[in-house]
Structure 1
Amino acid sequence: MKKFTSALIGALACTTLLAGAASAETVKVGVAAEPYPPFTVPDASGNWTGWEVDLMDALCDEAALDCVITPIAWDGLIPALTSGKIDAILASMSITPEREEQIAFSDKYYSTPGAIVAESGSGIEPTAESLAGKVLGVQVSTTNQAYAEKHFPDAEIKTYQTQDEVNQDLYAGRIDAEIADLVTLQPFLTSDNGQMCCEMMGTVEQDVEIYGPGIGLGLRKGDTALKEKFDDAIAAVRENGTYEEITKSYFDFDIYGD
């Protein structure tokens, strides 16, 4: 009888563990299919690395979520979220009033100002007067495109699908300058091509209506339980040092911001 009871208890324990594992919530996390170093970078096998990928792993571990990376073209991320193809967006998406009309956001997990990069020695400054008549490159459907169109009305705005394409055209001399997030520009500026051609001309003046309070996870309106899990996870990894540990592998400055 004792052997049977022990076996039964063991079987029930295994069943409970299996049930717990099976009940973990699966969350499809959308990332931009276009490489966005150092945040999200796919290799030839389709494996993803980068700061946001490492952060996603930490947040999902903290929240006990089974997160699956789902790459989608940048300008298709919000439609994919609202239609239910994905459950969250983790793609350096700024929290803006315009986007908040369509989706909800988690608390911010980093923030970074927009900046202007141009050919070394060009003397270009991050002002409307300096950029008037210049060809300014920017990734399409980003807050930086909205900023450029509003604040640099006399520049010729040229849009690209990926940030890499913007960098390549600046290096090749096909555009005069580019605007992008300061953090995003660092890998280009420290690359061989970036060091040969270009320099940081400064950050642009803040526009909260365009840039919002920072970068957050995009979520469907009404998914309050999932938002709470991610908000709690963001706070937890900030408090327990995991956030700092991940960040120092990629940046030598505070990416979280004010």
Structure 2
Amino acid sequence: MKHILKVMLIAILALTTLNADTRLQKIVKKGELVLGTSGNMTPMTRSINGGKDAVGFDIDLAKTMADTMGVELVIKVIAFDKLIPALKSGKVDIVISNMTITPRRNTQVAFVGPYLTSGKCLITKKPSLASAQKEELNKAFNKMVVIKGSTSEEFIKIGMPKVQAITVESEEEAINMVRESKVAAMLTDYPVCLSVVANNPKDNFIPIPSTLSYEPIGIAIAPQNTHLLNWIQNFSVRANKMGLFEVLGKKWLGK
């Protein structure tokens, strides 16, 4: 009798699991898509209202996704290096935050994309760096500031090991360090680089694009959420065919 009851219990649990809503279905039922974003990489994502909201290319992309699902977008501004843990724990449904698809990150979460490709760029006030080769940049006195947990931090460690990488949480802090000559440069992604230069004309910042890196930017999803992953894949294909990324590019990145 005990054996029969045990078998019945296992069967009931199996049926319950099969009938459970997927993450996407839960999002639709709840009426909310929860986005995780760092809010510190203008023009892709920038926090406003004291960190309670955000604007940018990535935010508009997420809002379009939410509208297409028929739900409201809930934005959670989280430090960049805490985004993947927040996704894995279920605190957020997706992460869109100028996040590069790297092999290491891809072992932890799934990605859809890239929806944009970028590269590294230096922001400096030193004209001498503008014409410097990689070997010249890789000097101990060339301190560079980066966003903590970003691929820029990893890029310096691997590509310019002699350079001291100063990590900060916010874009504003990084810009101030360049402005006050506390570092030789800020290393960031190309769209962010252009935005910083355009929004701070009085500082005479010099952008130095690099061809030394390839930055495929993607949408991160917890790996177990296959239904949500499938929906975002199909949404991205449709959005690309309909010109959404081009429209957002013109709005936030210019020509």
**TM-score, normalised to structure 1's length?**
0.79
List per-residue Cα deviations over 1:131-173 (Å, max 9, x = no partner): 3121111111111110111011111221111222111100111
The structure-2 alpha-carbon separation of the partners of 1:135 and 1:98, relative to structure 1 and needing over 3 Å to count, comes to same
Alignment-mate amino acid for residue 108 of structure 2: Q
Q: C-alpha distance in 1, partners of 2:204/2:28? A: 53
The structure-2 alpha-carbon separation of the partners of 1:221 and 1:37, relative to structure 1 and needing over 3 Å to count, comes to same
Deviating 4+ runs (over 6 angstroms): none
Which of 8, 29, 37 is 2:42 aligned to? 37
Deviation at 1:110, TM superposition (A): 1.1
Secondary structure of the corresponding residue to residue 253 of structure 2: coil
1:239 corresponds to which residue? 241
Q: State how 1:22-101 maps to structure 2 within 5 Å.
A: 23=29, 26-32=32-38, 34-44=39-49, 46-101=52-107
Alignment-mate amino acid for residue 119 of structure 2: P
- Preserved contact between residue 66 and residue 73 of structure 2 (Cα < 8 Å): yes
Q: C-alpha distance in 1, partners of 2:137/2:54? A: 39
Matched, 1:130 2:132: no
In the alignment, structure 1 segments of 5+ residues that lack a partner are: 1-20, 254-258
Alignment-mate amino acid for residue 41 of structure 1: R
Considering fraction of residues, name the structure with more helix.
2
Alignment-mate amino acid for residue 99 of structure 1: R
Deviation at 1:244, TM superposition (A): 1.9
**TM-score, normalised to structure 2's length?**
0.80
Percent of pairs with identical residues: 20
2:7 corresponds to which residue? none
Q: What is the aligned-residue RMSD (CA, Å)? A: 2.2
1:202 corresponds to which residue? 209
Q: State how 1:175-254 maps to structure 2 within 5 Å.
A: 175-192=183-200, 194-206=201-213, 211=215, 214-253=216-255
Deviation at 1:126, TM superposition (A): 5.3
Q: C-alpha distance in 2, partners of 1:65/1:224? A: 19
In the alignment, structure 2 segments of 5+ residues that lack a partner are: 1-26
Secondary structure of the corresponding residue to residue 238 of structure 2: helix
Q: C-alpha distance in 1, partners of 2:243/2:209? A: 31
Q: C-alpha distance in 1, partners of 2:99/2:192? A: 13
